[in-house]
């Protein structure tokens, strides 16, 4: 297939991402990202309607920035890839409408992309990318899954969370500790000041015999501990907060590391890919690197800038699908396209 210039657009939640990827030489030419964190902080979480409106404001300026940085013109674009799901319906619709309208004006096809496929393939943007096949640990605010990946579009679900995702558990626990939004990164930073073994928290499903996860009970265990420490009107001091944060993070990391390495062993592979927002957690990376080295397993992560939602991973996923033989769709008329707020990755076809 001839080289193609693929424009990627991401708008699944609270980050607007635009990127330009050249499929011929596998080069990310430019990417730009706007995070809505500051806007949502006042509400303690993402407000869907505000998120959708902000995507509308950011799409065109980010596109202009990417074109300027890449030195390419809009007329050079050969296809437009965009996140079709999963995510917030309104936010997805903004990105889809923008992509389809842009593709129509240019007379180029579109490539609806699965958001999690973008995360899963994002380590391929690194200077030392993994090769197929590999096991992927997807850990984010909404998803915690283990997948066996044999190629683009060839994903076998090995295990997933039965309740809260790891990132969701981080955010909810951070709220219990009185930390701001976004809670996950704040909790991870606080945990670095905590003492190991100051508090004992459970390791849910650590020895369940399967590759599934459960983090809701761990969050509840933190709630019980906080209530015990704050009875009779007492408040948590800084040391207690740090120690609980450390205990919580240690519990989640231990479960993720053991299950992920077990998945690699059972799959008889030697490569593990870690992707998603929680994949940026330093303690998770440290423990995985240390324990994987003992088992001679290679671990691959996306660059830190690509751990959160971004347009680069969407452009990449679209380009790789084209290279794998997928057909791009003609741009659709207004109202003829749809988004998929709920879309299991295991349902994705090559």
Rounded mean pLDDT, 140-166: 94
Range of the domain at 175: 128-301
Distance (Å, whole) CA 231 – CA 248:
21
Name 288's Cβ contacts closer than 8 Å, sequence gap at least 6.
Answer: 256, 257, 260, 261, 272, 274, 299
**Claim to verify: residue 140 and residue 40 sit in the same structural domain:** no
User: Which pLDDT score, from 0 to 100, does residue 325 have?
Assistant: 80
Q: Which residues are 147's β-sheet partners?
A: 136, 157
Q: Most distant CA pair in the chain: distance in Å?
A: 71
Confidence band for 1, pLDDT divided at 50, 70 and 90: low
- The residue among 92, 94, 73, 81 whose CA lies nearest residue 18 is 81
Q: What is the pLDDT of residue 332?
A: 75
Same domain, 272 and 172: yes
* Strand 15-22 versus strand 5-10 pairing type: antiparallel
Which range, of 61-70, 83-92, 228-237, averages the lowest pLDDT?
A: 228-237
Check residue 107 and give its pLDDT. Answer: 96
For residue 318, what is the domain's CATH number? 3.30.420.40
Rg (CA), the chain: 21
Residue 331 confidence (pLDDT)? 76
Query: And the tokens for 63?
Result: 């596109």
pLDDT of residue 31: 98
pLDDT of residue 335: 64
Counted domains in the chain: 2
Q: Is the pLDDT of residue 100 over 90?
A: yes
**Those residues with Cβ within 8 angstroms of residue 271's Cβ, 6 or more apart along the chain or in another chain:** 130, 131, 133, 134, 135, 264, 297, 298, 299, 300
Where residue 334 falls among pLDDT bands split at 50, 70, 90? low
Mean pLDDT score of the chain, rounded to an integer? 95
- Say if residues 194 and 242 touch (Cβ distance below 8 Å): yes
Residue 232 is predicted with a pLDDT of 86
pLDDT at 345: 87
In the structure encoding, which two tokens stand for residue 254, read together? 């231990």
Phi, psi (deg, nearest 5) at residue 8: -110, 135
Residues 29 and 174 in one domain: no
CA end-to-end span of the chain: 17
CA 133/CA 110 separation, integer angstroms: 27
pLDDT at position 141: 83
175 and 322 co-located in one domain = no
What does the pLDDT read at residue 35? 97
From residue 117, how far is each of 33, 45, 59, 182 by CA, in Å? 19, 25, 22, 24
- 329 and 295 within one domain: no
Are 149 and 295 part of one and the same domain? yes
Q: Where are the beta strands (DSSP E) in the chain?
A: 5-10, 15-22, 27-35, 79-85, 110-114, 134-139, 144-151, 154-160, 271-275, 298-300
Lowest mean pLDDT among 59-63, 230-234, 277-281: 230-234
The pLDDT of residue 311 is above 80: yes
- Look at residue 338 in the predicted model and tell me its pLDDT: 92
**What band does 346 get if pLDDT is binned at 50, 70 and 90?**
confident
Other CB atoms within 10 Å distance of the CB of residue 42: 9
Q: Are 300 and 127 in contact (CB under 8 A)?
A: no
Q: Are the beta carbons of 74 and 67 closer than 8 angstroms?
A: yes
160-206: per-residue pLDDT in tens? 999 999 999 999 999 999 998 889 999 999 999 999 999 999 999 99
Are 135 and 251 part of one and the same domain?
A: yes
Q: Which two tokens stand for residue 57?
A: 């404001």
Task: Indicate whether 64 and 29 sit together in one domain.
Answer: yes
More confident residue, 183 or 312: 312
User: pLDDT of 246-288, one tens digit each?
Assistant: 999 999 999 999 999 999 999 999 999 999 999 999 999 999 9
Q: With 90 as the cut, is the pLDDT of residue 239 above it? A: yes
């Amino acid at each position: 297939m001839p080289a193609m210039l693929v424009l990627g657009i991401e708008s699944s939640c609270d980050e607007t991402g635009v990127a330009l990827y050249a499929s011929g030489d596998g080069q990310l030419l430019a990417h730009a990202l706007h995070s809505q964190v500051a806007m949502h902080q006042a509400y303690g979480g993402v407000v869907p309607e505000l998120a959708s409106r902000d995507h509308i404001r950011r799409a065109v300026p980010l596109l202009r920035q990417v074109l300027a940085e890449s030195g390419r013109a809009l007329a050079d674009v050969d296809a437009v890839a965009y996140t079709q799901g999963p995510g917030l319906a309104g936010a997805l619709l903004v990105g889809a409408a923008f992509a389809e309208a842009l593709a129509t004006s240019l007379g180029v096809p579109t490539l609806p992309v699965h958001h999690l496929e973008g995360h899963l393939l994002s380590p391929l943007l690194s200077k030392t990318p993994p090769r197929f096949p590999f096991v992927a640990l997807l850990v984010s605010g909404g998803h915690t899954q283990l997948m066996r990946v044999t190629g683009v579009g060839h994903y076998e679900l090995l295990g997933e969370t039965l309740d809260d995702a790891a990132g969701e558990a981080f955010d909810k626990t951070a709220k219990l500790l009185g930390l701001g939004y976004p809670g996950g990164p704040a909790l991870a930073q606080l945990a670095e000041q905590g003492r190991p073994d100051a508090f004992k928290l459970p390791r849910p499903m650590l020895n369940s015999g399967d590759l599934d996860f459960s983090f809701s009970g761990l969050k509840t265990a933190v709630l019980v501990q906080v209530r015990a420490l704050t009875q009779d009107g007492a408040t948590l001091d800084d040391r207690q907060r740090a120690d609980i944060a450390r205990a919580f993070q240690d519990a989640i990391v231990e479960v993720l590391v053991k299950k992920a390495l077990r998945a690699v062993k059972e799959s008889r592979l030697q490569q593990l890919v870690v992707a998603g927002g929680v994949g940026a957690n330093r303690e998770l990376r440290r423990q995985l690197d240390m324990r994987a080295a003992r088992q001679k397993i290679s671990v691959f992560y996306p660059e830190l800038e690509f751990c959160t939602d971004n347009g680069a991973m969407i452009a990449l996923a679209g380009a790789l699908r084209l290279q794998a033989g997928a057909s791009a769709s003609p741009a659709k008329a207004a109202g003829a396209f749809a988004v998929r707020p709920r879309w299991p990755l295991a349902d994705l076809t090559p």
